[in-house]
Amino acid sequence: MRALALMAHPDDAEIFCGGTLIRLQEAGWEVHIASMTPGDCGSMVEGPSEIAGIRRREAAAAAAKIRATYHCLDRRDLRIFYDEPTLQAAVEVVREVQPDVVFTHPPHDYMLDHEMTSKVTRAACFGASAPNFDTGRRPAAASAASIPHLYYASPAGGTNIFGEPGSYSVYVDVSEVIGLKADMLSCHQSQREWLRAQHGMDHYVEEMKRWAAELGGRCGVAYAEGFRQHVGHPYPASDLLAQTLGSFAPAK
Ligand SMILES: [Zn+2]
């Protein structure tokens, strides 16, 4: 079994679904982490190519903590668009990984890079199994066998742009793996100063734990991650995540 987290920036996968990826890896799954960009705008002091190089290494180191493979689709920060090259790159990674489960951002999130990534990933999950969708790669990668199970992670900060809380169809208990999730996130050292300066976030690891504790509080565990499954036709609607890791009732 294979899981792919396809998110906008390096560190998004660790923040929004890192604990779930750890648990799937521990259950014997092959895990892949992909970011649309190498995080080229995530610095107040380094130039784009310098910070991108640093962040690629940080992302690869975080993935290596759980023997996951890191992929970068080489888009650019603040310029992730629903366009042909981006969709082609996303289809190629889905065809390469052939995932059973894909995680991405929710359709509504704090910045448009996340929303575009959500749309592109949704389309790529569909298009990867359509053999006539030619990405231009030669030799062409084999089409995916079927549409993977698609799950949207929580919005940043747990709320959408109107301050409304995210809604989830499944919670994953990450209490036992919160330490390793924090270790993975700590690999993104360059982001501490950036998030403090630009997001007013004092320490991103503590902030991640606070969000996970808030979601845990909704389902009666110490730390959780929440997801909403894409169940519209023709995406698979069986809850493979809950079947694999156990399910908790969504909050009322
Ligand atoms: Zn992001």
pLDDT tens per residue, range 4-40 = 999 999 999 999 999 999 999 999 999 999 999 999 9
**Sequence-distant contacts of 192-195: CB under 8 A, at least 24 apart:** 193/44, 193/45, 194/42, 194/43, 194/44
Alpha-carbon span 153 to 161, nearest angstrom: 15
pLDDT at 197 over 90: no
Continuous segment of H or E residues that includes residue 158: none
Output the CA 138–ligand 1 centroid distance in Å: 31
Output the CA 36–ligand 1 centroid distance in Å: 9
pLDDT digits (tens, 9 = 90+) for 146-167: 999 999 999 998 999 999 999 9
Reading the block at residue 153, the tokens are 């992670």
Contact call for residues 46 and 56 (beta carbons, < 8 A): no
Alpha-carbon span 123 to 106, nearest angstrom: 14
Query: What's the Cα-to-Cα distance from 56 to each of 9, 11, 45, 68, 70, rounded to whole Å?
Result: 10, 10, 17, 14, 9
Alpha-carbon span 145 to 44, nearest angstrom: 43
Mean pLDDT for all residues in the chain: 94
- What confidence tier does 249 reach under pLDDT thresholds 50, 70, 90? low
State the average pLDDT over residues 135-144.
86
- pLDDT at residue 251 in the model: 52
Contact call for residues 94 and 125 (beta carbons, < 8 A): yes
- pLDDT at residue 139 in the model: 80
- What confidence tier does 252 reach under pLDDT thresholds 50, 70, 90? very low
Output the CA 118–ligand 1 centroid distance in Å: 11
pLDDT at 196 over 90: no
Contact call for residues 22 and 180 (beta carbons, < 8 A): yes
- What confidence tier does 210 reach under pLDDT thresholds 50, 70, 90? very high
Query: Is the torsion defined by CA of 174, 105, 111, 7 positive or negative?
Result: positive
**Domain topology for 2-245:** Rossmann fold (3.40.50)
pLDDT at 3 over 70: yes
User: What pTM did the predictor assign?
Assistant: 0.96
Q: How crowded is residue 83: how many other Cβ atoms within 10 Å of its Cβ? A: 12
Output the CA 223–ligand 1 centroid distance in Å: 21
- pLDDT at residue 36 in the model: 98
Instruction: Give the Cα-Cα-Cα angle 202, 167, 6 (nearest 5 degrees).
Output: 70
Output the CA 114–ligand 1 centroid distance in Å: 6
pLDDT digits (tens, 9 = 90+) for 54-92: 999 999 999 999 999 999 999 999 999 999 999 999 999
Reading the block at residue 4, the tokens are 């792919």
pLDDT digits (tens, 9 = 90+) for 219-241: 999 999 999 999 999 999 999 99
Output the CA 131–ligand 1 centroid distance in Å: 31
Output the CA 166–ligand 1 centroid distance in Å: 16
Query: What's the Cα-to-Cα distance from 108 to each of 88, 116, 138, 154, 194, rounded to whole Å?
Result: 22, 9, 35, 10, 23
Contact call for residues 11 and 221 (beta carbons, < 8 A): no
